[in-house]
Amino acid sequence: MKKIIYIAVLVLVVHTLSAKTIRIGKQQQVKTIQQGLLLAADGDTVLVDPGHYHEKNLLINKSIFFIGINHPVLDGDHTYEIISIKANRVLVDGFKVVHSGISSIEDYAGIKMYSCRDVVIRNNILEDTFFGIYTQYGTNCTIEKNTLVSFSKEEQQSGNGIHCWKADSMRIIANNITGHRDGIYFEFVTNSIIWRNISEKNMRYGLHFMFSNNDAYISNVFKNNGAGVAVMFSNHVKMIHNYFEENWGDGAYGLLLKEISDSYIETNHFVKNTAGIFMEGASRIQVEKNVFEANGWAMKIQASCMDVTVVHNNFKGNTFDVGTNGSLVLNSFNNNYWDKYEGYDLNRDKLGDIPYRPVSLYAMIIEQNPPAMILFRSLMTSLLDKTEKILPSLTPENLKDEHPLMKPLPL
Amino acid sequence: MKKIIKYVIIDILRNKIVLAYTVFLLLISVTIFNLEDNSAKGLLSLLNIILIIVPLVSMLFSAIYVYNSSEFLELLVSQPLKRKTIWLSLFMGLAASMAFAFFIGAGIPILLYEATPTGFMMLGTGLLLSVIFVAIAMLAAVMARDKAKGIGVVILLWLYFSIIFDGLILFVLFQFADYPLEKIMVGAVAFNPIDLSRILILLKMDVSALMGYTGAIFKDFFGAQTGLIISFCVLITWIVIPAWLSLRKFNHKDL
């Protein structure tokens, strides 16, 4: 057995030694990257000196390590796609990719992968690109520690930051994305993870999920995006420990869930959104240990949702805790902390003795008649709310937290 | 004029009701800020005080004071003094003492605990509301000769401004739910200083909720520089017009 390992190691070492390194730069033998890429063979390393390179479209069709020293600038002159990868096991590391072309027919990108697997894109800076990093039919690729900045003004004239279409087992880790249409875009992507990214000030969504099942996104920050984060037509999605912040406007939601099922939303923070979570046609969702703070509506659950379980969350300083559009309630609320709860706890079990109704009459009125917002927090509406609390008539009878917590959870 | 204002203020201070009002406000604001663990809730309670108690006390006290000093007014009128001077001095004395009471009672705790834009907006609108409702009460008092009737009118006016007006708005909103009423509502608010103040404060406090579609319209109007200036001009108009009307009435009144 040992012998076999030795031989294997030896073969590996020999294999590694056989690979060569090609240096590209003004002072080197190879002056242009195009030339360098032609010279390279599978397993070679292509090292690029600092400088400003205008080299049209760079096509990588061999399994090479393509590494920039001190972020050499690859310029697309507003006309070309900059790097196209059409091979497996490629590494692109440490470039500054700027000014890609903009087209409404082709999806030009800073770095685009065509049906590859095991590609690693890391430590790059992308500025003013149409699409940032784009994969189609990618498998087991890693997109890590990139910074993507775009300056788009209109949705039609802009592309997505990290765009994955029909991919599997992707890892999107610690990227910084601003100013694109959607920060991260997933369509038909499965078994993938989005971890520790910061996506802010994008035109549309910070993260956009469509038809993507069995994915997880963990510890990301989505801040101040045009419409927040959207997760649609997917199932088995895990959303853990993310921050959804300052998504303001009509139709802007911290998290928009549409037609999704069997998912977990845990230990997230929803702060200062017009609506923290908006759910439509969602079923079998576990919402647990989240913090909802200073939102307009902490949650809006449409009557089309089913089996949504909301337990052990903190609701603090929200204008409205829960909003809904009908009287049908097939969801359950239990053991949450509501700062508006006015009940008591006689037996000292830290649970309130009377149920809390998170939907106020006024929230229902606004749902039906939005201009009534003008009466917000007036004596009139607080009187209406008080009478409604004693004798519920308009608000859904079953929407209540039977055992609200008296003290907030340490989240 | 200065002498009369000084006399009015001293007289108001001597009668201790305003002093009690100040202490009451101070006590409530300090307790609110100390009791609530999150300051948003504290501000909310304070908002209710500013919008409900301040107009009520300002109006009732001013009306009663005007009626009780009718003999003093008669005495002053017999002196070589312009009626305008007498009436405006009375108004200024009352307005100054109510505004001062509010500033000490609620303003100082706000400045101490919550020196944020929301706090400053509360302070500003609270001061204006104190003065506005002094003016309105004086108009009511000069219109009705009978004391009971005058005070009744004042209470009705307070009910109107704090509840009935909103009820009417809600009624209109539901009757005409099929029409786009957002812009009309912005205009309607100008007819009630309490509503106007409330919206100005809320724009600083509940921004998140107000960024929905309809709210965004209010935000666009009241939140913008011009909207803010217009709103304050409207509030000042609410002082000037009642004061001017009451002055006109007082000039020709047979005491």
Q: What is the mean pLDDT of chain B?
A: 88
Strand partners, A256: A230, A278
pLDDT of residue A11: 58
Percent of chain A topping pLDDT 90? 65
pLDDT attached to residue A56: 85
- Tens digits of residue pLDDT in A324-354: 888 888 999 999 999 888 889 999 999 999 9
- Higher-confidence residue of A4 and A307: namely A307
The partner residue sitting opposite A380, judged by closest CB among B48, B166, B211, is B166
First to last CA, chain A: 51
B182 in reach of chain A (CB within 8 A): yes
Q: Which residues in chain A have Cβ-Cβ distances shorter than 8 Å to B216?
A: 249-250
- State in Å, rounded, how far the first CA of chain B is from the last one: 20
Chain A residues with CB under 8 Å of B116 CB are none
The predicted structure's pLDDT at residue A15:
57
Sort out which chain B residues have CB atoms less than 8 A from A317's CB and list them.
Answer: 38, 40-41
Which residue on chain A is closest to B182 by alpha carbon?
A: A371
Which pLDDT band holds residue B147 (cuts at 50, 70, 90)? Answer: very high
| Confidence label for A13 from pLDDT (cuts 50, 70 and 90) | low
The 10s digit of each residue's pLDDT in A168-184 is 999 999 999 999 999 99
What confidence tier does A60 reach under pLDDT thresholds 50, 70, 90?
Answer: very high
Is B62's pLDDT higher than 70?
Answer: yes
Structure tokens at A334: 């239990």
- Shortest CB distance from B209 goes to which of A320, A369, A379? A320
Interchain pair B174, A374: CB under 8 A: no
Those of residues 27-46 in B touching chain A at CB distance below 8 A are 38, 40-41, 44
Asked whether the beta carbons of A360 and A385 are under 8 A apart, the reply is yes
CB contact under 8 A, B215 and A369: no
3-state secondary structure of A150: coil
Interval A185-210 mean pLDDT = 94
| Nearest alpha-carbon partner for A226 in A155, A130, A146 | A155
Give tens-digit pLDDT for B212-234: 666 677 777 887 888 889 999 99
B235-248 pLDDT, tens digit each: 999 999 999 999 99
Averaging pLDDT over each range in A22-31, A184-193, A393-402, which range is the top one? Answer: A184-193
Answer for the pair A171, A192: CB distance below 8 angstroms, yes or no.
Answer: yes
Q: How far is CA B52 from CA A102, B48, B230, in A?
A: 58, 6, 23
Chain A residues within 8 Å of chain B (Cβ atoms) = 248-252, 272-274, 294-297, 316-317, 319-320, 339, 365, 368-383
CA distances from A344 to A132, A248, A391, B34 (A): 54, 35, 19, 21
Nearest to B142 by CA among B100, B192, B88, B95: B88
Contact B127, B98 (CB under 8 A): no
The token pair at A181 is 């249409």
Q: How far is CA B80 from the centre of its chain?
A: 33
Distance (Å, whole) CA A129 – CA A151: 9
Pick the residue with more confidence: A9 or B60?
A: B60
Q: Is A118 exposed, middle or buried (0-12, 13-18, 19+ CB in 10 A)?
A: middle
Q: Which residues of chain B make contact with A376, given a CB cutoff of 8 A?
A: 198-199, 202, 206, 209-210
B23 pLDDT tier (thresholds 50, 70, 90): very high
Domains of chain B, residue spans: 2-251
The pLDDT-based confidence of A14 (bands split at 50, 70, 90) is low
Average pLDDT over residues A241-254: 88
- Retrieve residue A348's tokens: 């000292």
- Find the length of chain B: 255
Return the number of other C-beta atoms located less than 10 Å from residue B80's C-beta.
Answer: 4
Q: Who contacts A76 (Cβ-Cβ below 8 Å, separation ≥6)? A: A56, A82, A97, A98, A99, A100, A101, A108, A110, A129
State the ipTM, two decimals. Answer: 0.79
> Could you give phi then psi for residue A297, rounded to 5 degrees?
-120, 125
A73-102 burial, b at 16+ Cβ within 10 Å, e below that, comes to bbbbeeebbbbbbebbbbbbbbbbbbbbbb
Chain B residues in contact with A373 (beta carbon < 8 A):
210, 212, 214-215, 218
pLDDT digits (tens, 9 = 90+) for A373-392: 888 888 888 888 888 877 77
The model's pLDDT over B63-119, given as tens digits with 9 standing for 90+, comes to 999 999 999 999 998 988 899 999 999 999 999 999 999 999 999 998 988 888 888
* Least confident residue range of A255-259, B115-119, B160-164, B214-218: B214-218
Say how many CB pairs under 8 Å bridge A and B. 105
B116 contacts: CB under 8 Å, gap ≥ 6:
B204
Phi, psi at B46, each rounded to 5°: -65, -35
Residues A189 and A84: their CA atoms lie apart, in Å, by: 20
Contacts A323 to B, Cβ<8 Å = none
Structure tokens that stand for A60 in this block:
């990588």
User: Which chain B residue has the Cα nearest residue A252?
Assistant: B212
Q: Among all residues of chain B, which has the CA nearest to that of A373?
A: B215
Q: A227: which 2 tokens?
A: 């419409």
* CB-nearest partner of A297 from B38, B188, B209: B209
Residues from chain A contacting residue B40 (CB–CB below 8 Å): 294, 317
Closest chain A CA to residue B200: A374
Give the model's confidence band at B40: pLDDT under 50 very low, under 70 low, under 90 confident, else very high: low
Residue with tokens 């902390």: A337
CB contact (8 A) between residue B170 and residue A380: yes
Question: b or e along A364-400 (b: 16 or more beta carbons within 10 Å of the residue's beta carbon)?
Answer: bbbbebbbbbbbbbbbbbeebeeebeeeeeebbeebb
Is residue A42 classed as helix, strand or coil in its secondary structure? coil
Cα–Cα distance list, B211 to A18, A261, A277, A368, B120 (Å): 63, 29, 15, 17, 21
List of domains in chain A: 50-390 (2.160.20.10)
Could you please report the per-residue DSSP string of A270-337? EES-SEEEEEES-EEEEEES-EEES-SEEEEE-TT-EEEEEES-EEES-SEEEE-SSS----EEES-E
From chain A, the residues in CB contact with B51 under 8 A are 378-379
What local confidence, expressed as pLDDT, does residue A206 receive? 93
On the question of pLDDT at A53 being above 80, the answer is yes
Contact A369 B173 (CB under 8 A): yes
Residues 6+ apart with CB under 8 A from A307: A283, A284, A285, A330, A331
> Nearest CA of chain A to the CA of B172: how many Å?
10
In A155-190, which positions are buried (b, 16+ CB within 10 angstroms) versus exposed (e)? eeebbbbbbbbebbbbebbbbbbbbbbbbbbbbbbb
Give per-residue pLDDT as tens, A112-131: 999 999 999 999 999 999 99
Nearest-neighbour CA in chain A from B84: distance (Å):
37
Q: Quote the tokens at residue A117.
A: 């697997």
Conformation bin of residue A245: beta by default, left when phi > 0, alpha when psi is -120 to 50: beta
Q: Which residue of B has its CA nearest to A251?
A: B212
